[in-house]
Copies of this chain bind each other. A is one copy, B any other.
């Protein structure tokens, strides 16, 4: 993505229903005690769809249903999402329930069932409480207002503490194209796939094959480059719906504005990924680890992810301790090719290791830096030109509290 793209612009205050023809809403139907727990995203017309899904061998029923829509039709017009229950490991009944959610949503909006995606998030292994859920579906009245978008963003959350929204505009064929995204994350977040719920809408015109290509090309460097706790969920997915109402000529790699589109999609995905990492369960800080000079980009990302996922690095950042020994140890066990004497480490702008040996630094200055809400760690390897970034969060008392008492 070396091409400079002037048109891309972050739009503040906007949301998932901003692209032309998209509507959203979230409500409380009764799966949770009080909070919003049911949401729908609807496009006026069928949209091209692309999706990436968890690599966990145990896949929840809604994920199986949604995957089929993506793979078989390449089109989607609505997504129904519940929080509070993951509908995972629920056997045949769970599959039945996911299909019922799909069917009833289709009925409610007068569209074909195979244009409806289904997503669920919450506790594993409990059957869905279908009665309130089905009543809830009949009450869904999505709009293209900011209010509807906000309700949607709230209804998909579990232990998240904040909504995660981002919206950009760009131009394709001189026409305004909007790409907006919303996501939930928090726990059970680990790369090797989406491992979260992410929904991205755009009014760009693009067929599902090229949309999938675009999504895949940015997934590794965004959603797959975050980790909260190394646990990969059974349920998570990222969907991109492109309904074409911007009326541009269909996008493909041959289109002169392909790079603009990709860059904008990348910005949306990266914003969401960083928001998820920053709002990891119990987190007080976003940690960004940048690796340069690895043999390949993939190795650089692998090292960055290993460092940002190390419990010892995470607790050191929580404790504002410039304990670079834990960083270099994680680099060493990442499995990537490294030369110990070629390693450089910086915490913020402060060098702490040069050529594999300690550099004298001001502990006080680093203590001050480590108290900031965003901490950057740089690792230089001097092996090649591979570069990668990964995002994570610190490991805190609150992570333990949240997870030692989640289900009960």
Contact = CB atoms under 8 A, between A and B. Distances in A.
A132 interface: no
5 contacts: A89-B353, A91-B341, A188-B312, A231-B329, A316-B406
Given A91-B357, A315-B404, A357-B91, A231 B310 contact: yes
Interface in A368-408: 395-397, 399-401, 403-408
Given A57-B332, A125-B353, A125-B358, 4 more contacts: A91-B356, A311-B311, A311-B399, A315-B404
B400 A329 contact: no
B333 A231 contact: yes
Interface residues on A, range: 35 or more
Nearest to A282: B400
A312 B229 CA distance: 8
Interface string A339-370: 01101000000000101111000000000000
Given A312-B187, A312-B188, A325-B125, A400 B318 contact: yes
Given A124-B329, A125-B328, A328-B125, A403 B57 contact: no
8 nearest interchain CB pairs? A124-B325, A319-B404, A58-B332, A315-B403, A232-B333, A91-B357, A56-B332, A57-B332
B315 A400 contact: yes
Interface string A313-324: 001101101011
Contact of A57 (B86, B124, B333): B333
A311 B232 CA distance: 11
Contacts of A331: 57-58
B400 A395 contact: yes
A190 to B, nearest CB: 8
A146 to B, nearest CB: 35
Contact of A321 (B229, B330, B407): B407
Given A329-B188, A332-B57, A400-B397, A405 B321 contact: yes
A373 B46 CA distance: 56
A190 B329 CA distance: 12
Contact of A358 (B59, B126, B358, B404): B126
Interface in A235-269: none
Interface of A: 55-59, 86, 88-91, 123-127, 187-188, 190, 192, 229-234, 310-312, 315-316, 318-319, 321, 323-326, 328-334, 336-338, 340-341, 343, 353, 355-358, 395-397, 399-401, 403-408
Q: Which residue among A329, A399, A401 has the maximum number of chain B CB atoms within 10 Å of its CB?
A: A329
Nearest to A94: B357
Contacts of A401: 397
A404 B231 contact: no
B357 A89 contact: yes
A408 B329 contact: no
Contacts of A57: 331-334, 336-338, 340
Given A231-B311, A231-B330, A329-B58, A316 B403 contact: yes
